[in-house]
Amino acid sequence: MSRIRGSGNATTELRLIALLRAARVTGWRRRYPLPGKPDFTFPLSRLALFVDGCFWHGHDCGRNLTPKRNAAFWQNKVARNQRRDRVVGRQLRALGWRVIRVWECALARDPSRFLARLRRRLPVAGITR
């Protein structure tokens, strides 16, 4: 566990970029200056999208490994991440943004379900057909 270094969830984000491009979803940006640093933003729709890793954000999906060494540290780390996620969500909503959080396992398991959820939240202008 000591060798784990956060890389910004790069593989899942790259997979999502490919998915958005294949589905012809437009209007998204990365590295948009907002609290919590959303992975993707849709500025015109005021929508912030976070792709949460199952390990780092404590998803109970079966893929979440529980470290055996230094377990208390990792439990506190994940709890702090979850607390920060809630605070950031509230901050963004107070600024008038809508927030979508998607788990990496859900994105891998059923990308079409994620796209349907995204389409419901975006105006027609954000998606070309």
**Can you tell me the distance from the alpha carbon of 6 to that of 46, in angstroms, rounded to the nearest whole number?**
27
Q: Name which of 115, 117, 17, 12 is nearest 63 in CA terms.
A: 12
Residue 3 domain-assigned? no
- How buried is residue 122: exposed, middle or buried, by Cβ count under 10 Å (0-12/13-18/19+)? buried
Residue 55 domain-assigned? yes
Residue 29 domain-assigned? yes
Count of the separate structural domains present in the chain: 1
Residue 5 domain-assigned? no
For the entire predicted model, the pTM comes to 0.83
Per-residue pLDDT in tens (0 to 9) along the chain, 129 residues: 555 555 556 788 898 999 999 999 999 999 999 999 999 999 999 999 999 888 888 888 876 677 788 889 988 999 999 999 999 999 999 999 999 999 988 888 899 999 999 999 987 544 544
For 101, the enclosing helix (H) or strand (E) is: strand 98-103
Give the pLDDT score at 59. Answer: 84
Residue 4 domain-assigned? no
**Can you tell me the distance from the alpha carbon of 96 to that of 90, in angstroms, rounded to the nearest whole number?**
10
List of residues 6+ apart from 22 with CB closer than 8 A = none
**Can you tell me the distance from the alpha carbon of 113 to that of 122, in angstroms, rounded to the nearest whole number?**
14
Q: Give the CATH number for residue 35.
A: 3.40.960.10
Residue 2 domain-assigned? no
Q: Find the length of the chain.
A: 129
Give the pLDDT score at 126. Answer: 47
Residue 91 domain-assigned? yes
Its domain, for residue 90, covers: 10-126
Residue 33 domain-assigned? yes
